[in-house]
A and B are shown apart, each in its own frame.
Chain A
Amino acid sequence: EAGVTQFPSHSVIEKGQTVTLRCDPISGHDNLYWYRRVMGKEIKFLLHFVKESKQDESGMPNNRFLAERTGGTYSTLKVQPAELEDSGVYFCASSQDLGQYSGQFFGPGTRLTVL
C-alpha cells in the first residue's frame, strides 16, 4: 500500500511569489490534514478535510493560505503571496478512523524556503 506522498519535496521561491503544494493521501482515507513546522518550533495543525469538506481550518494562519480538496482525493495548499515567515516544512497526513483509532499517517513533507 502506497503511503502519503507530497510534491514537491523542496521549493525555493522569492517573497511575493505563489507556491502550490500537493498531497496525495493513502487511498481510501477520507481524512486529510495539513501541518507545518517552522524553524525551531513544533509541528502545528493547519486544517482538516473530511472528503472534500473542510472540517476544521482553525490553524490556517491568514488568508494568504488556501487549501482545496476537490473530489475528495488529493489536496493542494496554495500560498499567495508568500512571505519570509512562511518558510518551513509542510506536512500532509491522512487517516481513516473507522472504529478503533489507528493514527494519522504522514507524508515526507515539502520544505518551503521563501527568500
Chain B
Amino acid sequence: GQSLEQPSEVTAVEGAIVQINCTYQTSGFYGLSWYQQHDGGAPTFLSYNALDGLEETGRFSSFLSRSDSYGYLLLQELQMKDSASYFCAVRDPGAAGNKLTFGGGTRVLVKP
C-alpha cells in the first residue's frame, strides 16, 4: 500500500535547527514535496525534490535519497512563525494523473 511516515511532533527553541524525516513506500514516485500548514490555513508549498540531493530555499532545505525512499526537511534559524504542521507528500503518477500522497504531518512547536 501507500504510506509515508514522519514524526508526529517536534519541539525546539527559537534559533535552533529542526530536521523532519520522512520515509515513504508508494507504488509510483515522481518526487517528494513538503508543505507547511498553519492552524486553519491552507497547506503552502515549500519545496520539491525529484532527484537525489539537497535543495536549499532560504532557511529551509529539503533532501531526498530515492534509493533509501527517504527525505527530510531542515528548518534553520527557527522563528516563532515557523510553528506549524509540516507534511511530506509523494507526487504519484497515479492513474495517469498527478496526485499527492501525504504523510500524517509533523507539528513543530517553536518556544522562545
- A residues bordering B, Cβ < 8 Å? 3-4, 31, 33, 35, 41-45, 48, 55-56, 58-59, 91, 93, 95, 97, 101-109
Contacts and interface: CB of A to CB of B under 8 A. Distances in A.
Nearest to A49: B97
B43 A55 contact: no
A81 B99 CA distance: 26
A55 B100 contact: no
Nearest to B87: A43
Contact of B100 (A3, A41, A45): A45
Q: Which of under 10, 10 to 19, 20 to 34, or 35 or more describes the interface residues of B?
A: 20 to 34
B5 to A, nearest CB: 11
Contacts of B33: 103-104
A43 B96 contact: no
